[in-house]
Amino acid sequence: MASITENSAVEGGASPPPAPFSAFAAELVGHDARRAAIDAVYRAPETECLPELLRAAELPAPMATQARATARSLIEGLRARPTAGLVQGLMREYALSSQEGVALMCLAEALLRIPDAATRDALIADKIGGGEWRAHLGRSASPFVNAATWGLLITGQLIGAVDESGLAAALTRLLARSGAPIIRASVDTAMRVLGEQFVCGQTIEAALGNARPLEERGYRYSFDMLGEAAATAEDAERYLASYEAALRAIGAASNGRGIYEGPGLSIKLSALHPRYARGQRKRVMDELYPRLRRLAVLARELDVGINIDAEESERLDLSLDLLETLCRDPAMAGWNGVGFVVQAYQKRAYATLGWIIELARATKRRIMLRLVKGAYWDSEIKRAQVEGLEGFAVFTRKFHTDVSYIACARLLLDAPEAVFPQFATHNALTLATVHAMAGKNFYAGQYEFQCLHGMGEPLYNQIVGRGGDARPCRVYAPVGSHETLLAYLVRRLLENGANTSFVNRIADAAVSVDELIADPVEAASALAPIGAPHPKIVAPRDLFAPERDNSAGLDLSNEASLAALGQALAASARPDWHAGAAFPAPRPILNPADARDVVGHVADVAPAGVEEAFARAERGRLGWSALEPGARARILTEAAARFEAEAQKLAGLICR
C-alpha cells in the first residue's frame, strides 16, 4: 500500500532502460493518406458510407430496366429446371431456423476443431441427440433432400432408396436396435453427400479431369486446395507444398492457355502461416511473404493466374501490405496474373478498390480483381459484438451490401487498364446488373463472372457459351478429401440457409420473381435516414442495453487505433512512476508483454511500516500526527484506492 509519486530518482542501475513500449511504437505502420482513408471507414456508421455508394450505384433508368429484364429471364429459366434446386432444397430443409440445421452446422464446425475421434463421437451424439430428424422424412418434393435425410438417419447404402414407408419402418427398428453409433456413421455419410456436391475432386488431377466437360462448354476454372488456416508451422509447409504441386498440375493442364483463358489457383494466406495476424506483422512480412512470392514466381513461370482469397475483415490490411509488396517486387514486373479478392459487404470495399486501382497503375500492371459480397457475415457481426468494438466492419442490411457491390462493380468496369474484374455471385439480379453496366459490346478480357462449383452452374449455363452474346464464367472449384471440406461446407450451409440469400429465396416458390429482382438502390434510397443500420442487429456497445454499456474493446487490426494506443502507452507509462518512493531499494515493474520495458518502480514495505510511510508522506500537508484515528484510516483507504486505480489503468493498457 502506498501512494504514487512522480519524478523521484531511481536508485541503482547503470544504463537507462529503453523507453517503455518503444518496441510497440517501432512496429506501428504509418499509413499514407490513401491507406488512412481506408482505415477511416473500417467501422464507420453505415449512414456515413451509403450516400457515396448510392451515388455510384445508381443506374440510368434504361440500364436498370434492362438489368431487371435479364434477371427475370434468368430466374424463370432457373425455376423451370427441375433439377436446378436440388442442393438449394437440401439447404432449405436444414435451414438455420430448424433445430436440425443448427445441430448440423454446430456439428460440422465443431468437428473441425476436435483432434480425437472419441471426443468427436461424443459431440456428434450430443448434437444429433436433440434433433427431430424423422420429422423431415418425405416432406420435401426433392428426392435428393429425402435421400440426404435418410443419409443422416441411416447408413450410406440406403441413400437413394425410394420405398419411404418401408424405410421408415426399417428405420424405427434400426434406431431402436442401434441407436447413436448408426446415427454417427450417418452424419458422416451426409457430409460425404454434401462433399461430393461441393468438391470438384479429391486430388488436383481428378479435379482437372472433372473440369474438362464444363471447360468445353466455355467455363474456366480456379482451383482451391481445401483446408483452412494453418495452425502450426508444419500445416503451413504442407499447404505450401500442396499449392506448389497444384500449380504445376494446373500449369501442365493449362497448356499455354494463359491467365485469362486457362485455369488458375486461389490461395488462402492464412494457410501459409500460422500467425497471419496484425500482432505478428513482422513475421508475416519476413516469413509468409517469401512463401507467397515463391508461389507467385512459380505461377508466373507457368503463366497460371493466382488469386488471394478474402478472409476475415481483420486480415484485410495485412493482405493489402502483402499485395503491395508483391506488386512492387521486381520478380513480378510486367505480369498480370496477380489476383485479389475484395468483399463488398465490408465498409472499406470501395476505398480499397480505389487504392488497388492506383497500385495497379503505379506498378504498370493489370490486377485480377474478384468482387464478392463476403462469406463471413455472421461471424463478423458476432465478433464485433463480443469484442465491444466501436462498430461493425460489415453492413447490417443485405441491400446495403448489394448497393456496395454495384458501386464497386462500376469502379472496376471504369478502370479496364488497371483491373481484370471477376464478378463472383450467384444472384441473378447482381449478375444481370453487371451485365447491363458492362454494355453489349463485350470483348475478350473485358471481365468474367465466377461461381462456386456445385452451386452456380444452373444459373451460368444460361449465359456461358462460345457464341457472340455469351459471357465467360470461371468456376471456383474446391479440391480435397471429405475430411478437409468441413469449414468450407459450413460457410456454404450458412450462405444457403440464410433467408436473405438469393439461392435460398429462389428455391422458395412463395418468393415472387418481382421480389427477387427488387432494386437494392431503390430500397436503400427509401430508408430514412439513408444508411440506417438494421434495427434488429444490436450495435456492439448496446449488447447489454438497457442494463449497461458493453465493455469497450480496442480494434487491434486497425492502424489508426494502434497509433492512438501507441500514443496513450507512451504518455502513460513512464519509468519514473514510483509506488512507495519514500522507501529505499525500489524494484522495477516490467511490462508483462515485453520484459524489456520498465513501466515503474515499487518499494515493498512491511505492514508495520505502512502507517509510518503515510505519516511521512502526508505529514507536512495534513498534520498527520494531529489527526484522529478515524480520519487517518479514511486517508489511508483513499490513498490505497487511488493507487489501485492507477495500477489498474496501467495494467489495462499493458495487457491489451
Ligand X SMILES: Cc1cc2nc3c(=O)[nH]c(=O)nc-3n(C[C@H](O)[C@H](O)[C@H](O)COP(=O)(O)OP(=O)(O)OC[C@H]3O[C@@H](n4cnc5c(N)ncnc54)[C@H](O)[C@@H]3O)c2cc1C
Strand 594-602 and strand 587-591: pairing? antiparallel
Q: Which residue in the set 501, 550, 557, 561 belongs to the binding site for ligand X (CB under 6 A)?
A: 501
Question: Residue 49 interacts with ligand X (CB under 6 A)?
Answer: no
Q: Which residue in the set 133, 340, 460, 476 belongs to the binding site for ligand X (CB under 6 A)?
A: 476
Question: Residue 401 interacts with ligand X (CB under 6 A)?
Answer: yes
What are the helix (H) ranges across 58-98? Answer: 61-80, 86-93
Residue carrying the nine cell digits 455469351: 470
Give the integer Cα–Cα distance in Å for 539 and 520: 23
Compute how many other C-beta atoms are within 10 angstroms of the C-beta atom of residue 253.
Answer: 21
Q: Which residue in the set 372, 437, 489, 582 belongs to the binding site for ligand X (CB under 6 A)?
A: 372
Nearest distance from C-beta of residue 396 to ligand X, angstroms:
5
Nearest distance from C-beta of residue 393 to ligand X, angstroms:
11
Q: Which residue in the set 188, 495, 555, 559 belongs to the binding site for ligand X (CB under 6 A)?
A: 495
Q: Tell which residue, 355, 363, 358, has the closest CA to residue 335.
A: 363
Do you find a cis peptide bond into 586, omega within 30 degrees of 0? no
Q: Tell which residue, 519, 522, 509, 518, has the closest CA to residue 76.
A: 509
Do you find a cis peptide bond into 546, omega within 30 degrees of 0? yes
- Residues 6 or more apart whose Cβ sits within 8 Å of residue 601: 10, 575, 577, 578, 579, 581, 586, 587, 588, 589
Site string for ligand X, 285-314 (x = CB under 6 A): ------------------------xx----
Q: Near ligand X by CB under 6 A, which window of 23-31, 319-327, 396-404, 514-522?
A: 396-404
Nearest distance from C-beta of residue 312 to ligand X, angstroms:
9
Cβ-based nearer residue to ligand X, 189 or 401: 401
- Count residues contacting ligand X (CB under 6 A)? 32
Question: Residue 426 interacts with ligand X (CB under 6 A)?
Answer: yes
At 171 the three-state DSSP class reads helix
Q: Is there a contact between 199 and 227 (Cβ–Cβ < 8 Å)?
A: no
Question: Residue 450 interacts with ligand X (CB under 6 A)?
Answer: yes
Question: Residue 452 interacts with ligand X (CB under 6 A)?
Answer: yes
Nearest distance from C-beta of residue 548 to ligand X, angstroms:
26
Q: Which residue in the set 341, 357, 436, 490 belongs to the binding site for ligand X (CB under 6 A)?
A: 341
Cβ-based nearer residue to ligand X, 534 or 616: 534
Cβ-based nearer residue to ligand X, 376 or 420: 376
Q: Is there a contact between 478 and 491 (Cβ–Cβ < 8 Å)?
A: no
Residue 15, burial from CB neighbour count under 10 angstroms (0-12, 13-18, 19+): exposed
Q: Near ligand X by CB under 6 A, which window of 98-106, 290-298, 340-348, 511-519?
A: 340-348
Question: Residue 396 interacts with ligand X (CB under 6 A)?
Answer: yes
Amino acid identity of residue 436, one-letter, is A
Question: Residue 425 interacts with ligand X (CB under 6 A)?
Answer: yes
Q: Tell which residue, 28, 21, 57, has the closest CA to residue 400.
A: 57
Question: Residue 427 interacts with ligand X (CB under 6 A)?
Answer: yes
Q: Is there a contact between 336 and 360 (Cβ–Cβ < 8 Å)?
A: no
Nearest distance from C-beta of residue 358 to ligand X, angstroms:
22
Question: Residue 343 interacts with ligand X (CB under 6 A)?
Answer: yes
Q: Near ligand X by CB under 6 A, which window of 52-60, 130-138, 144-152, 367-375?
A: 367-375
Question: Residue 397 interacts with ligand X (CB under 6 A)?
Answer: yes
Q: Which residue in the set 430, 433, 462, 591 belongs to the binding site for ligand X (CB under 6 A)?
A: 430
Return the CA Rg of the chain.
30
Question: Residue 373 interacts with ligand X (CB under 6 A)?
Answer: yes
Cα 2 versus chain centre, distance: 48
Q: Near ligand X by CB under 6 A, which window of 155-163, 177-185, 388-396, 644-652?
A: 388-396
Give the integer Cα–Cα distance in Å for 641 and 150: 65
Nearest distance from C-beta of residue 322 to ligand X, angstroms:
15
Q: DSSP class of residue 524?
A: H
Question: For the chain, how long is the longest CA-to-CA vector?
Answer: 101
Question: Residue 578 interacts with ligand X (CB under 6 A)?
Answer: no
Q: Is there a contact between 43 and 313 (Cβ–Cβ < 8 Å)?
A: no
Question: Residue 451 interacts with ligand X (CB under 6 A)?
Answer: yes
Contacts with ligand X, residue ranges (CB under 6 A)? 309-310, 341, 343, 345, 372-377, 394-398, 400-401, 424-427, 430, 450-452, 476, 495, 500-502, 534
